[in-house]
Amino acid sequence: MNTALLIPYVDVHAAGQPGRVLTASHLLASGKTMAQRLEYARTNLDWLRQLVLHEPRGYPAMCAVLITGPCDPRADVGLIVLEQGGFKPMSGSNAMCAVTALIETGAFPATEPLTTIVLDTAVGLVHVTASVRAGKVTQVSVRNVPAFVEVLDFPLDVPHLGVINVDVVFGGQYYVQARAADARVPLLPSAGKAIARAGALIRTAARQQIPVKHPDNPDINQIDLVMLHGPTDTPGASARNAVILCSEDVSLDAPDTWTGTLDRSPCGTGTSGRMAAKHARGELPFGAEFVHESITGSLFTGYLEGAVDGHARGAVRPMIAGAAWITGVGYLALDPSDPYPQGFTLGDLWAQ
């Protein structure tokens, strides 16, 4: 093969959300801590993120995971998340994808019925327990990083939507969360464009009006994602949601930019933040089950283990469980004559 670069990957989806696990790119991320590696990736490896996620190798809903060696000696592997909006410190669905890929390909030794993997991330250690039967991962339980509330019921002035009460929470990334009814959208797949439009307007307003800074990693200092939530009629589910990854170039004067892509899963870090907000309101006691439904109807099951001792923001410890499935194994190739070494996006499908 006439290639300048070959990138081994395992494609996985967790509850419908695709995660491309990069199993042999660990030498690319430099740094003595995972926070340093995350910043290194943001500064130096955006070419890799675009190559992997953009067309013709990727598509708008795709995420990826860079697997590295751990920096913390208590951890087994390091994890950096690649999203269409950039490199991120943590993702629940992508953690499920990574652990499933590592175990089912034999890259990490499996112990049945339970295999424990400790992930090193830029926002702390994540303890993951995989249920394994005959080499197959049947469930992944993620003991997430501390989740906390920045603000509750903030009266956010959203252009074209009016004033909406929102919560800003951290569950591995920063979210602005609001009731879908207040944004005047139904939580239905057919309403995907309207949901993305509302999300783009809400995140833009939240970034302008609500400053954030993570207490342990000050480089994490902006709201990345939007969750719109509401009730559900699905038996056994507690609530329904849609998470929006908005275009990075939203202009309030250009309606064509009010767009983004929707998480196909119930979203692990978003569910963690949602549970923290519900607990802060007295709506979710420690240990109580919270079953979150995605826009596609898939489910994650969560609960809050308890308070995090001594945390600056009064954080809680979320637990999230779901399942993931391998969908493909192969290599991404870059021919030296390929005119699209960082891929491309088009406005017919992408949030430009």
For residue 347, what pLDDT band results from cuts at 50, 70 and 90? confident
Residue 5, pLDDT > 90, answer no
For residue 332, what pLDDT band results from cuts at 50, 70 and 90? very high
- What type of residue sits at position 124? G
For residue 250, what pLDDT band results from cuts at 50, 70 and 90? confident
Query: pLDDT (tens digit, 9 = 90+) per residue, 38-61?
Result: 999 999 999 999 999 999 999 999
- Residue-range domains of the chain with CATH: 5-145+325-334 (3.10.310.10), 148-318 (3.10.310.10)
Q: Find the mean pLDDT for residues 128-136.
A: 96
SS3 169: strand
State the sign of the Cα–Cα–Cα–Cα dihedral 149, 150, 155, 157. negative
Two tokens, residue 217: 């990693």
Query: pLDDT over 90 for what percent of the chain?
Result: 87
- For residue 335, give the DSSP letter: -
Two tokens, residue 306: 């308890």
Q: Find the mean pLDDT for residues 265-290.
A: 97
The pLDDT of residue 62 is: 95
Question: pTM for the full model?
Answer: 0.94
Query: pLDDT (tens digit, 9 = 90+) per residue, 72-115?
Result: 999 999 999 999 989 999 999 999 999 999 999 999 999 999 99
SS3 300: strand
DSSP-assigned states of every residue in 53-80? HSBTT--TT-EEEEEE--SSTT-SEEEE
SS3 100: helix
For residue 352, what pLDDT band results from cuts at 50, 70 and 90? low
Q: Find the mean pLDDT for residues 297-320.
A: 95
Active-site residue set: 91
Nearest Cα residue to 97 out of 347, 324, 344: 324
State the sign of the Cα–Cα–Cα–Cα dihedral 20, 25, 30, 34. positive
- For residue 87, give the DSSP letter: E
Residue 246, pLDDT > 90, answer no
Rg (CA), the chain: 19
